[in-house]
Chains A and B, each alone.
Chain A
Amino acid sequence: MTERTLALFDSEAAADAGPKRGFRLVRRCRLDRVGLVGAVLSGLMCVAAIAGPLVAPFDPAGVHPADRLVWPNETYLLGTDELGRDLLSRVLHGSRVSLQVGVTSVSIAGLVGVLMGLAAGFYGGVLDLAVMRVMDVLFAFPIILLALALVAVLGTDLRNLILAITIVYVPTFARIARGSTLVVVAESYIDAARSVGASDGRIIMKHVLPNVGAPIIVQFTINLAYAILVEASLSFLGLGVQPPAPTWGGMLSDGKDYIEISPWVSVVPGLAIMFTVLGLNLLGDGMRDALDPRLRGNEGETTG
């Protein structure tokens, strides 16, 4: 009983938004064990992406014909692939590609989607109707299918891949931003701000955006996890980042032809993807619980 009462107070405290929210994020995330594990895994991923290529023992494209499909040993810590390329170096370099594609596309998608959602929710009317119908249509495509189709017509290169993943993630941000904006706009302090003559821009920046921020940050983390999965899937199908660039999806695709003799070639990149996505998922979950318990049920808006 005590536990539930406490939880109730917590959720109410978190629910009344306020300027101290950023501070609360830091304080609460420190308490949340799940979020912490996620933060550590995500942090490791970032370190690997930034420092990995510097510390990688070999050139990721360096072929060693004498050492093909070698078991993990002291020279090649994670073994080598069918061309004798060092798997550790390839996984480290691959983390940079994954993170680059994921962060770039989800950031742009977030910016565009949030702006559209804010505008739609704030101004309403025809603008709202038009924007949200377009989002409904984009939402009607399975994410990986839309990304595949876009890459197929635009051509497979890094820029088009990022563009495709950006487009598929705009609708989730727009929907969430619009929903939160509608709630905020109905509050009396918005009327108060209007009555003292605040401009629309000022109201949006000062009052709406800070209150929409929390769910957006959570959604950013979760979308990042799935964007990395989408990139890996496309690269696995041969339609993402093109060889010889080392990507986790591409490594898995190469490795699957050798599972009978060298299973580790497929295990290594798979583990890398799994821990990255797991870390971001846990971080997203942890932040969601810390920032706004009312969002807990909102688990379905993802794909992979």
Chain B
Amino acid sequence: MRAVARLSASTVLVLVGIAIVAFFLIRLIPGDIVDLQMGREENNPEVAAELRRVFGLERSLPVQFVEWFTALIRADLGRSLRTGRPVVTEIASRFPQTLELTLAALSISLLVAIPAGIVSATRRNSVVDLAARLVALIGLSLPTFWLGILLIMVLSVAFRLLPPGGYEPMTRDLVRNLQLLAMPALTLGAGMAAITMRMTRSAMLEALGQDYVRTARAKGLAEAGVLYRHTLKNALIPVATVVGIQVGRLLGGTIVVEYVFSWPGLGTAVVDAILYRDYPMVQGLVMALAFFFVLVHLVVDLVYVYLDPRLRHD
């Protein structure tokens, strides 16, 4: 339980840190956000002063921070400059799509990578092992956006199997939703599958070399029992860490993948917000994605504590 408390405390600290970074982020803009927003043509000092008042930019930095932070705690991130709607509403309307894509990619990568890693480790240096390692190595080096383009080329353009991009709510048309989900999820999951497979393989090999595995075999336990009861659970500990880190990669990857497939999630929202210089949205999205990322890490760390009893009494 102490481990859980310690983890939660450090997570809160990091969340506050993220908020500080996000606060200063839009204050890094050369000049200030109002200069940038107004552009050259509408050089109206009155409007500029009004906008500065709206953003609270005429007050001192510590005062700005306190105001911004108290608003943040009330889940008030300001309004989008483009749509005029609250940033929180915009994020909430796009979050389910990103969650769907991320979960699908995560499932695909785990379903492929863990069995492949186990087979690869147990049949070390066989043709299957070499093939799996080669595919993983290529998967590791493919830029996600290029893989996306290649899939569109083959599956949409050449064979006309899947639509090249877009989105349909699950509630309106589930089949269409899944058809549109398939390629982005595959694209996003590929890199993670490669890393997870490599990690599973090396962790399995290491676990298979341990004394307790030899003991289990020596006492006549069936091979399947040795593999699943003794080896796999121990091998999964480092795999869980890597998966946690990779979920961050997935969240980063959604930015590019959603853009390629016109998937209306947080990723396309980030790119749009940057292109339209909608800084309250940029700030809110950066914070939302980082918060999400940190919470995933917390969950992974807690799973870690569950898997590895030694950590419980640390």
Contact = CB atoms under 8 A, between A and B. Distances in A.
Interface of A: 4, 133-134, 136-138, 140-146, 148-150, 152-155, 225, 229, 232-233, 236-239, 249, 252, 255-256, 259-260, 263, 266-267, 270, 273-275, 277-278, 281-282, 296-297, 299-304
B143 A136 contact: no
A233 B297 CA distance: 24
A274 B146 contact: yes
The DSSP consensus for interface residues of chain B is helix
Nearest to B146: A270
The DSSP consensus for interface residues of chain A is helix
B170 interface: no
A249 to B, nearest CB: 8
B92 to A, nearest CB: 19
Contacts of B252: 142-145, 303-304
B300 to A, nearest CB: 11
Nearest to A138: B21
Contacts of A273: 143, 146
Interface in B11-61: 13-14, 17-18, 20-21, 25-26, 28-30
Contact of B290 (A140, A153, A303): A140
Contacts of A238: 275
Interface in B292-314: 293-294, 297
Contact of B198 (A153, A229, A260, A299): A299
B145 interface: yes
B83 interface: no
Given A133-B17, A270-B150, A300 B245 contact: yes
Given A137-B21, A140-B18, A153-B28, A252 B199 contact: no
Chain A to chain B: the 7 pairs with minimum beta-carbon distance, closest first: A142-B252, A137-B17, A278-B141, A270-B146, A300-B242, A300-B245, A144-B252
Contact of B274 (A143, A239, A300, A304): A239
A260 B157 contact: yes
Nearest to A297: B238
B18 A137 contact: yes
A266 B153 contact: yes
A247 to B, nearest CB: 12
A88 to B, nearest CB: 18
Contacts of B191: 304
B217 to A, nearest CB: 15
Interface string B280-295: 0010001001100110
23 contacts: A137-B18, A141-B18, A141-B21, A142-B251, A142-B293, A144-B255, A145-B290, A149-B286, A150-B25, A153-B25, A154-B30, A236-B143, A238-B275, A256-B260, A259-B149, A263-B153, A263-B157, A274-B138, A275-B141, A296-B202, A299-B242, A304-B143, A304-B252
B293 A152 contact: no
B209 interface: yes
Contacts of A282: 137
Given A144-B256, A239-B274, A136 B17 contact: yes
Contact of A281 (B13, B140, B245): B140
Given A137-B14, A140-B294, A237-B256, A145 B30 contact: no
B282 A152 contact: yes
Given A133-B13, A137-B14, A277-B140, 11 more contacts: A140-B294, A144-B253, A148-B274, A153-B29, A237-B259, A238-B275, A255-B149, A282-B137, A297-B238, A302-B195, A304-B191
A16 to B, nearest CB: 21
B143 A140 contact: no
Which residue, of A144, A146, A149, A302, has the highest number of chain B Cβ atoms within 10 A?
A149
B213 to A, nearest CB: 13
B241 interface: yes
B67 to A, nearest CB: 20
B11 to A, nearest CB: 9
A284 B25 CA distance: 33
A125 B145 CA distance: 44
A4 to B, nearest CB: 7
B33 to A, nearest CB: 9
Contacts of A232: 143, 145
A277 B289 contact: no
Contacts of A155: 30
Contacts of B249: 142, 302-304
